[in-house]
């Protein structure tokens, strides 16, 4: 049955008229919001009678703009860094030390805040990657493989060595927990490790630890590194779990170890994490249990976290400062990071001769007296490039692309 041409034209005309009316309505609303916004910025005493009448006339717009301002103020307060006074900090650390001593199963959750002392930027701090990108600023890239384990990393390793700590669950991809000497069975790197590439065609998956950042060519949903498995010839992939992805690798993610540790934990210590991502992992929080049977939660972070209201104690301080005081209270000496004892040099698999030029990233130099396992020291090709790929560069490039589009 054919459509009547006149009926079809009438329907299209109505749709166009309706769309035009919606557009005009939105434009009128925008004009009202702009007018009300300008008036609200003025002190009440400086508003004219006409402006006061406009506020009364457009009461809904006034209420909506006030609600938006309240939300902005709340968000701003949550992003502010707060520091406890020295005496208060010491008092809180004493409480934390008592909890660590009494704990039967202490588990530590770590975020980007424990690596800022190693010149690795965090994400949501005042100078964090996402914070800067949201403000339209560029983020300078740097070679993250040059970082070394911080005081906090070394303290965590010692707590485990002294049998005060059972397991570490980390969001960080920088590999610094592994390099500090923390045993791998005591570590879950939920978002991967930038030094590890794997062959998922082998069963079980075969790991290759490298002395350079393997994520140069990888990004969201694109994990191939360009190198091949020396056993089956399949392409290797990185271990990074990007935002929006679900990690399925057994190692180094070690979700099984993380879930078991969280289930047995009686104390959880969160260090340097906003917890905005970790809070979504239900298996880490035992929220199905009655409140009095959940692990006691201690948080060390300068900014607000969504778990603050559930914490027994919130410490506002830099992780390194807090951990130094904690180790002093526990009477445990903090070891210096020793490059000669860095496990990565013993774990690393050398590149094959044809793979030496397969990357442009700087290679970790073996310490004096320790021969590098790499072929020809695994030196990258002469053509060096800025760090544009991988787990860190992904966000950096995203921000740059947005800025270029605006400029255009």
Q: Which residues are catalytic?
A: 191
The per-residue DSSP string of 18-32 comes to HHHHHHHHHHHHHHH
Q: Is 294 in a helix, a strand, or coil?
A: coil
Is 229 part of any known ligand binding site?
Answer: yes
Within 103-150, where are the H helices?
A: 129-134
Task: Yes or no: say if 111 and 120 are a contact pair by the CB < 8 Å rule.
Answer: no
Task: Yes or no: say if 216 and 359 are a contact pair by the CB < 8 Å rule.
Answer: yes
Residue 186 neighbours by CB distance under 10 Å: 20
Nearest to 269 by CA among 90, 125, 113: 113
Task: Yes or no: say if 93 and 254 are a contact pair by the CB < 8 Å rule.
Answer: no
Is 199 part of any known ligand binding site?
Answer: yes
Task: Yes or no: say if 116 and 300 are a contact pair by the CB < 8 Å rule.
Answer: no
User: What does DSSP assign to residue 317?
Assistant: S
Beta bridge partners of 284: none
Is 283 part of any known ligand binding site?
Answer: no
Classify strands 167-170 and 267-271 as parallel, antiparallel or unpaired. Answer: unpaired
Within 80-148, where are the H helices?
A: 86-102, 129-134
Give the CA distances from residue 156 to residues 107, 117, 142, in Å, rounded to whole numbers and listed in that order: 10, 15, 26
**Residue 376: left (phi > 0), alpha (psi -120 to 50), or beta?**
left
Q: Which residues contact 330 (CB under 8 A, 6 or more apart)?
A: 97, 100, 101, 162, 164
Give 45's Cβ-side CA count (13 Å radius): 0
Nearest to 154 by CA among 123, 115, 100, 120: 115
Residue 81 neighbours by CB distance under 10 Å: 12
Is 270 part of any known ligand binding site?
Answer: no
Place of tokens 């490298």: 210
Cα 173 to Cα 162: distance, rounded to the nearest angstrom: 25
For the annotated binding site, the residues are 199, 202, 229, 232
For the annotated binding site for Zn(2+), the residues are 199, 202, 229, 232
């Amino acid at each position: 049955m054919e459509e009547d041409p006149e009926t079809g034209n009438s329907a299209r005309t109505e749709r166009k008229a309706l769309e035009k009316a919606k557009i005009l309505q939105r434009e009128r609303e925008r004009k009202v919001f702009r007018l009300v916004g300008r008036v609200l910025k003025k002190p009440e005493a400086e508003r004219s009678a006409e402006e006061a009448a406009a506020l009364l006339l457009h009461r809904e717009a006034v209420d909506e703009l006030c609600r938006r301002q309240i939300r902005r103020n709340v968000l701003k307060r949550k992003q502010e860094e707060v520091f406890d006074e020295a005496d208060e900090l010491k008092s809180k650390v004493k409480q934390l030390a008592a909890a660590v001593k009494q704990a039967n199963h202490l588990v530590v959750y770590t975020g980007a805040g424990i690596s800022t002392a190693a010149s690795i930027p965090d994400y949501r701090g005042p100078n964090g990657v996402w914070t800067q990108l949201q403000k339209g600023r560029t983020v300078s890239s740097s070679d993250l493989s040059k970082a070394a384990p911080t005081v906090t990393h070394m303290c965590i390793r010692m707590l485990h060595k002294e049998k005060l700590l059972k397991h570490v669950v980390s969001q960080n991809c920088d590999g610094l927990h592994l390099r500090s000497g923390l045993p791998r069975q005591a570590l879950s790197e939920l978002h991967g490790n930038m030094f590890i590439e794997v062959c998922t065609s082998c069963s079980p998956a075969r790991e290759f630890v490298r002395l350079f950042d393997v994520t140069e060519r990888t990004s969201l949903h694109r994990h191939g590194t360009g190198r091949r498995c020396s056993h089956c010839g399949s392409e290797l992939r990185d271990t990074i779990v990007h935002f929006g992805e679900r990690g399925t690798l057994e190692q180094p993610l070690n979700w099984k170890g993380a879930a078991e540790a969280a289930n047995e934990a009686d104390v959880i210590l969160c260090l340097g994490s906003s917890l905005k991502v970790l809070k979504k992992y239900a298996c880490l929080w035992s929220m199905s249990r009655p409140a009095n049977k959940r692990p006691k939660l201690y948080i060390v972070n300068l900014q607000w976290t969504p778990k603050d209201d559930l914490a027994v104690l919130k410490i506002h301080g830099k992780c390194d400062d807090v951990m130094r005081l904690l180790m002093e209270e526990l009477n445990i000496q903090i070891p210096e990071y020793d490059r000669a004892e860095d496990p990565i040099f013993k774990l690393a698999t050398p590149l094959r001769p044809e793979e030496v030029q397969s990357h442009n990233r700087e290679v970790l130099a073996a310490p004096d007296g320790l021969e590098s396992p790499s072929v020809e020291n695994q030196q990258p090709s002469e053509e060096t490039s800025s760090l544009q790929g991988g787990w860190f560069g992904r966000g950096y490039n995203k921000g740059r692309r947005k800025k270029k589009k605006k400029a255009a």
